[in-house]
Amino acid sequence: MSKVAVFNQCPGSEVMAESPLAHQSSVKGGRALIVTEHAFLGHLILRGQADNESLKSAVLSVVGVELPLQPLTFVLNETTGASVQWLSPDEWLLILPAGQEYEVEQNLRQQISGHFSIVNVGGGQTLLRLKGDKVFDLLSKSCVYDVHERNFPVGKAVATTFAKATAIIRRPNEQEWELVIRRSFADYCYRWITDAGREFDLTFTV
Amino acid sequence: MSQVNRLGLGGCIDRTQTYTFTFNGNQYTGFKGDTLASALLANGVSIVNRSFKYSRPRGIVAAGAEEPNAIMQLGATEAAQVPNIRATQQALYSGLAARSTNGWPNVENDAMGLVGKLGGPMMGPGFYYKTFMAPASMWMTYEKLIRKAAGLGRSPKEKDPDQYDHYHRHCDVLVIGAGPAGLSAALAAGRSGARVILCDEQEQMGGHLLDTRDQLNGQAANLWVTQVLAELASMPEVLLLPRTTANGLHDHNFATLHERRTEHLADTAPDANQVRSRMHHVRAHQVILATGAHERPLVYANNDVPGNMICGAVSTYIRRYAVIPGQRLVVTTTNDDGYRAALDWTEAGREVVAIVDARPNPEGDCVKEARKKGIRIITGSAVFEAKGTKRVTGARVSGVDPATFTLTGTKEDLACDTIASSGGFSPVVHLSAHTGTRPIWRDDIIGFIPGNVKGLTPVGAVKGVYALDRILAEGAEAGSKAALASGFSVSGIELPSVTKQLESKPIALFQVPHEKPTMRAPKQFVDLQNDVTAAGIELATREGFESIEHVKRYTALGFGTDQGKLGNINGMAIAARLLNQTIPETGTTVFRPNYTGITFGAIAGRHCRDLFDPERYTALHAWHLQRGAKFEDVGQWKRPWYFPVGNETMHDAVQRECRAVREKVGILDASTLGKIDIQGKDAREFIGRVYTNKWAQLGVDKCRYGLMCKDDGMVMDDGVTTCLGDNHFLMTTTTGGAAAILEWLELWHQTEWPELEVYFTSVTDHWATMTLSGPKARDLLSEITDIDLSKDTFKFMECRQGQVAGVPARVYRISFTGELTYEINVQANYAMHVWKALFAHEHTYGLTPYGTETMHVLRAEKGFIIVGQDTDGSVTPEDLGMQWCVGYDKPFSWIGQRALSRPDTRREDRKQLVGLKPVDPKVVLQEGAQIVLDPTQSIPMKMVGHVTSSYFSPTLGHGFALALLVSGSKRMGEKVYMPMADGKVIEAEVVSPIFLDPKGVRQNV
Amino acid sequence: MQRYSGFGLAKHALTHNENWQRLWRNPTPKKKYDVIIVGAGGHGLATAYYLAKEHGITNVAVIEKGWLGGGNTARNTTIVRSNYLWDEAAALYEHAMKLWEGLSQDLNYNVMFSQRGVLNLGHTLQDMRDIQRRVNANRLNGIDGEVLDTQQVQEICPILNCSADARFPVLGASWQPRAGVARHDAVAWGFARGADALGVDLIQQTEVIGMRIEDGQIVGVETNRGFIGAETVGCVAAGNSSVLAKMAGIKLPLESHPLQALVSEPIKPILDTVVMSNHVHGYASQSDKGDLVIGAGIDGYNGYGQRGSYPTIEHTLQAIVEMFPIFSRVRMNRQWGGIVDTCPDACPILSATPVKGLFFNCGWGTGGFKATPGSGNVFAWTLAKGYAHPLAAPFSIDRFVSGKLIDEHGAAGVAH
Amino acid sequence: MLHIFCPYCGEHREEAEFRPKGQAHIARPLSPEQCSDEEWAEYLFFRDNPRGIHHELWVHATGCRKFFNVTRHTVSYEILETYKMGEKPKVTAESLAKGGRS
């Protein structure tokens, strides 16, 4: 018997999932700031030693990208949409297409040796995508972190404060930004964003 | 009234846009581009306020942030009221409604003025410390009267209709002040491609260049301003923030900038989506301080009568606003700048009676120009007294010897209605001092300049450089250096040509001596807003207040809304003279944020109302709302407190919920419990070190309750931890402790035991937890699960994995109610599905949702503690009678163990957890009631403990409580007493804290 | 000493206020004193005053590195109350409260002690349990106080946001009517004037730079103006206690943190009582001059800079706007910081030390001002007798070894 | 507001992301049960609390969640270095005294 309990936490498609913002309604507005929730993605926290070769090779073979060792970066698999993000020297966030988290976890566990952990956290966080000319302004109103393009190029990912909550900010491409927020704070973040985005005539799709 | 003082030409105002406004109920007109002050002056309004202590009439003195008198109440409606607006910094807008803050029945005729006149001599500094002491009982009455007379404007009585926000910014170079120094600095830095922020507190950028007589490139200086601003605006990395005051400069170059976004347009934001003002939180790599200097007035007798102004303000009103604030001007000055006011005045076509210059032989270019224009110049002299009460009617002039502080020569009275004075300049060093650096006194410029602050470069007038060509050059150099220091390559800028002006040196004069001694002369004001006089400062030093901080505090010098921008240096200089010290010996004042006041709303930003603090919701929150739950705040979480049905009271609802759990089945949303996933081969060892009890033998799929202490031996958290695999545990924490406990585990791992192979990951939000509790729990759950729930297969304190309502779930058979309980955990996105599936069987099993209150009653019946309610940071596991949960012989000295053997923790008479049963079964003890053994003793009574939890139990049929009681474990069966506020004494019997099912039969069925 | 009165004011007015006497002398230090007090803040001056007045010990020097009353005495939010939870702390603060009640008359100096009452708000059920517990304990200790419900709170403070839809609704409060505020500077000046009149030397602008200890006995202090002898030395130098202790080779269980406060611009009277909330982290009162006096929290890091972090100020004003939405358009005038020496149990240290004759009075955290006369009174007794006053005894430094802490975090909280 | 270099994230971050955790390098005694009450009290409560150079523990709470050490001046608030757990400070009150810097 494995020393770690792993199980598929996703039911079949007959079970209706509810995102953390299920109770909130969409806001219709302009195109200067468009926020869209991407719920139900697979989120795994991977922890281990950065010098563990099996860790690196496992991530490469299972997720198809190099394990990012450079602080504050993440790597996107353009084909699958999966990504691996550096969170700390021994911690990474894997965001996977919906429903793949169990398989990925199993595959990683088979290939990684030594001291590591993998934890499914998909129920506990959700992802917002932001685009439009006013994203910089919205983020600047909300975060103490410098989101100017000189400091925040594509491929950067930073965990920081977001208003009075916390968030991970990611920049997958020139046009888009991503916010990973915690489930229990999601309603607060929604209210904050809609309030702070009011002057930009925001659109928020949940 | 028409705009009697408006000049026909000139000024940066838009004469095509006329605004109507009111002041003290009278209607006036002004133009777009006016400030409230310039508009009032244009309309010939002299008296704008009454003074704070003596109720003397006061007029406008300055044209900017240093104005002490023109303090207004603004707002046409109640909700839009703003107290203490400086008229000199408030842009005029259509419909603006302003009132004076003092003066009854009005500022022209103020009844309190009489009190000021008669009582004035008794109202020296600190007079209230010397009286109002007898009889002692009368102080509160005296105080009411004192308070009534105090204060300036008033707070609105309604909520603010406007919104505010924050903006976090980062830049390479922050330039504060957009005068000549700031503009050239910003331009030099901006051209390098650096990220530059240029802010300026005024409506228009340009600072002194907007009203200077100097020309740039042979043209009016403001043309150069327009050109530079246009170039800056075209640079993508340069941000221009006009109407933005840098009000604080904090550690590591963190600046707070307050941007007024609609305050210049209307009482409230014209568009509901606009923010009224915005705080920019700026982290700058380099800061260039280009804040300029404030002109100092001279201190002479009756220098507060309306019509007394500072010279620079006179020029500003004439040149920038095309307003001339009087008919006949006398200038009294110690420097060349005073002459500019006279020149501007005479060019505007009104009479300059004389320029009175304290210097014996002034020879600058502007002196020559004044002579050329035929203005009378009286040298070696000063105005020592102004005549008039509601408006200046004349100036008394005498020869003066600053060195001996005496008047010399003959005296002469000049008829005039305006006296403009200039005693030199005080650099605006404020921001440089906010992180504790003291400004440095410079005798040559007769002022303080900024001390050394890392990453801060003062430039221009703020460091005592007043020649325009040098200001521009230094600005450009500082801008280039700052960009260079931030890693950019620079090429410099071409500077505009400036006609060199020959200046003669200023002379140091602060207070002008009077023919009478200071204590007997008419009042010579130093701080106009707080009615601090030179005599007041003299009295303070006579009474032993020799430190400048004492003088300030005793006289209130500099404590007004202007924070002494005009008066502080004069006050220091006067104190220095009286104490026979130099100014630097006397000490500098400490400048602290804010530079100018900022509304609370702007500082609070968007973090108010429902955004004051995050509300955290579980995945089932919407269901609770729909079911009509009342909520309890637990940390940031909103937890259902109870679920009233119909018109039920809380008591009724809780009794019903309790019965449902004890008799049928209830369900609690326990998702807020902290959950930490722990993996690694040393997970078990680690858990054993942080919990008080033993974990070595816990098998897979088994659960165990654990207590956590700090290393001082005091209980800090508790919860159930489950072994999911040999190297895998799931720890639960209290709702409030979740984040702190995760950090606690990381702390120990990262700092003390990095060799242990273990990782912690928060899964609090990931798992939704539904606690199904009651005798029917098994029957109900078996309807929708494939897990074998039979008693002997799935035992108490075990965990199983399976499907619940088609959703993969971990089910823990643990109990906080004492009943048969299954805690169903599913990935939170599926929680609502499972919850609803359970409620599909609501009526079959009598399933009842219950809240935290019922949970508390049920757990207390079982004697289960709530950390933070039954403990308070001074309670050990032993005090709780939980020796069963303490592994005294564990090989590792777990956190808290050593502290338990200290003398005080070994004491036998510590407070211990007990149960209390009120003798009257109907009584519910008050939580927080103090316990005594002898209720007949007199006060102070010897207290021996207090009630921590208390409820009425429908199951027991009586009230019951948990309490911490001195030597409680030895008092079983004894009676204790609780003397209550209403005089009643409640009697209770000390019993075991476990009131129900001590053998645990019910949870083991 | 020239006595002060309303009549005196009128008399002096006739002579143009030219005959007022100094409040204190500016003496040259003597070679030796019976007692040296290090630190001329409120507590140190009160100690000197009571040493002279109650124990007849007048050969006393108070040595101050800056100006008297210039530390936390000049930087606090002036709140005075005695509603502490534990018997030991309550007794000490109530002793102070009783002295406050006659202080202006005793000193012949109006310290403007205004007993306008203090509300400590409760926003959660646990807040209310703690309030009940504390008020019950106060009552049985003879300290005034009652528990109010939301309606009663609203009646006492009509401008407080008591609506049920506030983020953290006000569930009730404790109310101590005898509590209030005082004029902080006047307290220092009144004690200084009183002590000086009794013969105490107030030596300002003189810094202690070392302790001279012989055979385990203090014999005096080294200063930047030379050695000054005394076999009894009491250190009462909040914000500098650890530094002084180190000079004597002693380590204290203290951390010095920045504590910030701020005032609004003066406005007409609108807030007639003191309102404090631990839960939303804000407290406010209105000074006689009209300023709203607002306390912010302690910054978490150690700091001797007399300034703290801006977010602390920001958070405090968010709390104030949450509690008093009508203040949104009132402006903050200035902020400042003090240095508080905090103890692990949020209670002070009034204690002898391993060095004979050397005593410390420190660690008051955020609670020092309200204790000023009481602290000085029991510390004077302790210095005069050489052993702890009964009210000071529980606050010995030994408690950190035995574990007998007096945990006042609940009552002390963020708010003071 | 402090600007703190996180040695794990490799860049300066705003104070709002961090939490101070008191004096650094306070090691828990390896054999607590062998400690005297005085020694245990020393470990629990007694701190250097210097006016000047202070080595202190911080955690990058909303960032990488790593604990690390900061050498900071408690009057000027200047941060002289930050360093990872397990490392020793390069700047100390003694080294500054020797180097003549203040």
pLDDT digits (tens, 9 = 90+) for B817-856: 999 999 999 999 999 999 999 999 999 999 999 999 999 9
Task: Annotate B771-814 with DSSP letters as a single string.
Answer: EEESTTHHHHHHHHB-S---TTTS-TTEEEEEEETTEEEEEEE-
Kindly determine whether residue B902 and residue C102, on different chains, have CB atoms separated by under 8 Å. Answer: no
Whether pLDDT at D101 is above 50: no
Residues C259 and C334 in one domain: yes
Q: What pLDDT was estimated at residue B119?
A: 76
Tell me whether residue D31 is in a domain.
no
* C109 domain residue, yes or no: no
Ramachandran category for residue B691: left, alpha or beta (phi over 0 → left; psi -120 to 50 → alpha): beta
Question: Measured between beta carbons, which residues in chain A are less than 8 angstroms from residue D7?
Answer: none
Q: Where are the domains of chain A?
A: 34-205
**C chain contacts of residue D75, beta-carbon cutoff 8 Å:** 303-305
CB pairs under 8 A between A and B: 173
Q: Please tell me the least confidently modeled range out of B113-127, C266-280, C301-315, D63-77.
A: B113-127
> For chain C, what is the mean pLDDT?
95
Q: Is position C27 within any domain?
A: no
**Domain match, C133 and C190 both:** no
When pLDDT is cut at 50, 70 and 90, the band that residue B120 belongs to is: confident
Secondary structure (3-state) at B286:
strand
- Interface probe for D, chosen from C256, C302, C307 (most Cβ of D below 10 Å), is C302
Q: At C333, list the tokens.
A: 């005038």
Q: What is the mean pLDDT of the segment spanning B893-900?
A: 97
pLDDT band (50, 70, 90) for residue B104: confident
B369-411 residue pLDDT tens: 999 999 999 999 999 999 999 999 999 999 999 999 999 999 9
Q: Taking 90 as the threshold, does the pLDDT of residue B212 lie above it?
A: yes
SS3 category, D4:
strand
Question: Are C337 and C266 part of one and the same domain?
Answer: yes
* pLDDT, position B102: 87
Domains in chain B: boundaries: 14-113, 168-293+427-485, 297-423, 674-762, 859-896+908-997
Interface of A with B in 157-196 (CB under 8 A): 163-165, 182-188, 191-192, 195-196
Distance of residue D1 Cα from the nearest chain A Cα, in angstroms: 12
CATH of the domain at D90: 3.30.2270.10
> What is the model's pLDDT at position D102?
42
Chain B / chain C CB contacts < 8 angstroms: 328
CB contact under 8 A, B747 and D67: yes
Closest residue to B725, CB basis, from A2, A22, A188: A2
pLDDT band, very low/low/confident/very high, at C415 (cuts 50, 70, 90): very low
- If DSSP codes are grouped into helix, strand and coil, which group holds residue B631? strand
Whether A44 has a pLDDT exceeding 90, the answer reads yes
Could you tell me which of B502, B480, B478, B503 has the C-alpha nearest to residue B491? Answer: B480
Cβ separation B828–A183 shorter than 8 A: yes
Asked if residue D19 is part of any domain, the answer here is: yes
pLDDT for B2-34, tens place per residue? 899 999 999 999 999 999 999 999 999 999 999
Give the model's pLDDT for residue D100. Answer: 53
- The reply to whether residue B129 touches residue C183, judged by beta carbons under 8 angstroms, is yes
CATH class of the region B674-762: alpha beta
Closest-CA residue in chain D for B251? Answer: D1
Average pLDDT, chain A: 96
pLDDT tens column, B445-460: 999 999 999 999 999 9
Q: Is the pLDDT of residue B692 over 60?
A: yes
If pLDDT is split at 50, 70 and 90, which confidence band does B105 have? confident
Per-residue confidence band for B588, with pLDDT thresholds at 50, 70 and 90: confident
The percent of residues in chain B predicted with pLDDT above 90, rounded, is: 93
Contacts of C among chains (3+ CB pairs under 8 A): B, D
Range of the structural domain that residue C279 is part of: 118-181+255-341
**Portion 78-97 of A in contact with B at CB < 8 A:** 90
**Cβ neighbour number for residue B349 with a 10 Å cutoff:** 9
Domain at C155, CATH number:
3.30.9.10
Q: Does B788 touch chain A (CB under 8 A)?
A: no
> Is residue C416 scored above 60 in pLDDT?
no
**Residue in chain D lying closest to A159 (CA):** D63
CATH of domain B297-423: 3.50.50.60
Helix B852-861, helix B650-663: angle, nearest 10:
60
Q: What is the pLDDT of residues D38-97, one digit of tens each?
A: 999 999 999 999 999 999 999 999 999 999 999 999 999 999 999 999 999 999 999 998
pTM for the full model?
0.96
Residue of D nearest to C315 (CA): D16
Best to test chain D binding among C401, C402, C405 (most D CBs inside 10 Å): C401
Q: Taking residues C41-63, report their average pLDDT.
A: 98
Fold annotation for B14-113: Ubiquitin-like (UB roll) (3.10.20)
Residue A192, pLDDT > 80, answer yes
- Summarised one tens digit per residue, pLDDT across range B538-563 is 999 999 999 999 999 999 999 999 99
The reply to whether C155 falls in a domain is yes
Average pLDDT of the residues in C217-240: 97
Do the Cβ atoms of C289 and B251 come within 8 Å?
A: no
Reported CATH class of domain B168-293+427-485: alpha beta
How many domains are there within chain D? 1
Is the domain defined by A34-205 classed in CATH 3.40.50.720?
A: no
Report the distance separating Cα C36 and Cα C235, nearest Å. Answer: 8
Contact between D61 and B743 using a beta-carbon 8 Å cutoff: yes
Is D83 domain-assigned?
yes
Instruction: Return the percentage of chain C with pLDDT > 90, whole number.
Output: 92
Is the minimum CB–CB distance between C317 and chain B shorter than 8 Å?
yes
Tell me the mean pLDDT in the region C222-237: 98
Q: Do C401 and D76 touch (CB under 8 A)?
A: no
Q: In chain C, how many domains are there?
A: 2
Contacts of A146 in chain B (CB under 8 A): 168, 170, 283
Give the C-alpha separation, B65 to B70, whole Å: 11
- Chain B residue numbers with beta carbons less than 8 Å from the beta carbon of D21 are 747
Tell me, yes or no, if D20 comes closer than 8 A to chain A by beta carbon.
Answer: no
**Phi-psi domain of B521 (left: phi exceeds 0; alpha: psi -120 through 50; beta: other):** beta
Interacting residues of C326 by C-beta distance below 8 A, sequence separation 6+ = B155, B156, B157, B158, B159, B160, C159
A161 and chain D: CB distance < 8 Å anywhere? yes
Averaged over B686-692, what is the pLDDT?
A: 98
Instruction: Note whether residue C302 is domain-resident.
Output: yes
For residue range B736-755, list pLDDT tens digits in order.
Answer: 999 999 999 999 999 999 99
Count of pairs with CB atoms under 8 A, one residue in C, one in D: 69
Residue A1 — pLDDT band, cuts 50, 70, 90?
A: very low
Chain B CB contacts of A141 under 8 Å are 165-168, 606
Q: What is the pLDDT of residues C92-143, one digit of tens each?
A: 999 999 999 999 999 999 999 999 999 999 999 999 999 999 999 999 999 9
CA distance D94 to chain B (A): 23
A31: contact with B, CB 8 A cutoff: no
* Residue D85 belongs to domain spanning: 3-26+39-99
Decide: C231 and C89 in contact? Cβ < 8 Å: no
Residue C335 shares a structural domain with residue C363: no
Question: Residue B536 pLDDT more than 50?
Answer: yes
CA separation for the pair B812, B797 (Å, rounded): 7
* Domains B14-113 and B674-762 are alike in CATH topology: no
Average pLDDT over residues B962-991: 97
In angstroms, rounded to a whole number, what is the distance separating the alpha carbons of residues C120 and B588?
38
- Supply the DSSP symbol for B841: T
Are C261 and C391 in a shared domain? no
Query: How high is the pLDDT of residue C410?
Result: 64
Does some domain include residue D33?
Answer: no
Q: Which two tokens stand for residue B408?
A: 């010399």
Superfamily of domain B859-896+908-997 in the CATH hierarchy: Probable tRNA modification gtpase trme; domain 1 (3.30.1360.120)
- Is pLDDT larger for residue A13 or for residue C27? C27
